[in-house]
Chains A and B, each alone.
Chain A
């Protein structure tokens, strides 16, 4: 329990969740990343509006306690936290609101390489089995994804940052 006489010291010194010691970083500044589409039941600091979106690592802040495990008493699981830049158009779709971006701090476990999600679609057996229609089929996945992204961002706009649900 925090005692009244210790308030001054605690306020002055704080308590960083930074953890010393080297740990392997999954990414480096300049890397393209995709925020994973995680939907945990419990605590997370991965806002819904960036899930599945592609951004670029701007800066490595160092190693910090991982809230998703720490909040549930499952350990510190320290890992790198990065400042990731997401273009406004990537998050909210085409708009005429001028240039902009959201910079958000994300833990290693929230991120994946943007190509990681792709193979599942590209290696679809149905696509491989019918090579005759490859020229007609190829543009399809890209065309298909677009409206979905738009629909999503419209829904996001109403409440972009709910932690639960």
Chain B
């Protein structure tokens, strides 16, 4: 990437560079500030935070109760509060209800627990079809739900940020909280997949 002299940079990349140069020139942003922000979300904050929240909820019924009643506070207990996680709600998957997160207006996403959103989450097709044809979207992610399962789509159009509490897979009764956290994927916390015993080996881009 970037080393290929034949491929010009994409239009959005050029536009971002131009914008950043302008903002820096006008003294509105400090480039070092931008670097630190990018570094924070690329290397420090990510879906591993959310996985810890999920694993704790699976092993600790009292914690799960607190998480579903007031996710902002329950997540803060584990130290994952902050920007784009100021007002959190966790929604629980059950055998009868499957939850899916989207932001149809832009790309709102729970940064504190899931990091930055994947590219497809910000794409127009996902944003429009997640609300109008969630079952079809899930099928394309390889998840075929029984016809009687209710799908609840959460459109993060305001200030509240959502994460899914996936179902704990069968056959994990013997596993420790840390082992369980290893199983939990980013996609399962957006709600486009379920957690399985081998879900962590699946690649995520």
Q: A: which residues have CB within 8 A of B?
A: 1-4, 6-8, 10-18, 45-47, 49, 61, 64, 81, 83, 88, 91-92, 97-107, 156-161, 163
A61-B87 CB under 8 A given contacts A98-B151, A99-B151, A160-B128:
yes
The reply to whether A1 and B28 form a contact with Cβ atoms under 8 Å apart is: yes
Contacts of B60 in A (CB 8 A): none
The reply to whether B159 and A81 form a contact with Cβ atoms under 8 Å apart is: yes
A102 CA to B153 CA, complexed, in Å? 5
The reply to whether A156 and B132 form a contact with Cβ atoms under 8 Å apart is: yes
Number of interface residues of B (CB under 8 A): 46
A141 CA to B78 CA, complexed, in Å? 55
Contacts of A7 in B (CB 8 A): 33, 36-37, 40
Return A12 CB to nearest CB of chain B, in Å. 5
The reply to whether A98 and B135 form a contact with Cβ atoms under 8 Å apart is: yes
Question: Which of A91, A105, A159: most chain B CB closer than 10 A?
Answer: A105
Contacts of B30 in A (CB 8 A): 1-4
Identity of the chain B residue whose Cβ is nearest the Cβ of A12 in the assembled complex: B82
Q: B: which residues have CB within 8 A of A?
A: 27-30, 32-33, 35-37, 40, 45, 81-87, 89, 104-105, 112, 124, 127-128, 131-136, 145, 147-160
A17 CA to B154 CA, complexed, in Å? 19
Contact of B152 among A64, A98, A100 (CB under 8 A): A100
The reply to whether B158 and A61 form a contact with Cβ atoms under 8 Å apart is: yes
Return A58 CB to nearest CB of chain B, in Å. 10
A161-B131 CB under 8 A given contacts A102-B155, A107-B158:
yes
The reply to whether B86 and A47 form a contact with Cβ atoms under 8 Å apart is: no
Contacts of B45 in A (CB 8 A): 11
Contacts of B37 in A (CB 8 A): 7, 11
The reply to whether B159 and A17 form a contact with Cβ atoms under 8 Å apart is: yes
The reply to whether A14 and B151 form a contact with Cβ atoms under 8 Å apart is: no
A8 CA to B136 CA, complexed, in Å? 40
Contacts of B136 in A (CB 8 A): 97
The reply to whether B158 and A13 form a contact with Cβ atoms under 8 Å apart is: no
Identity of the chain B residue whose Cβ is nearest the Cβ of A49 in the assembled complex: B131
Identity of the chain B residue whose Cβ is nearest the Cβ of A59 in the assembled complex: B89
The reply to whether B132 and A92 form a contact with Cβ atoms under 8 Å apart is: yes
**10 CB < 8 A contacts A-B:** A1-B27, A2-B30, A3-B30, A13-B82, A61-B159, A81-B159, A100-B150, A105-B155, A156-B132, A161-B127
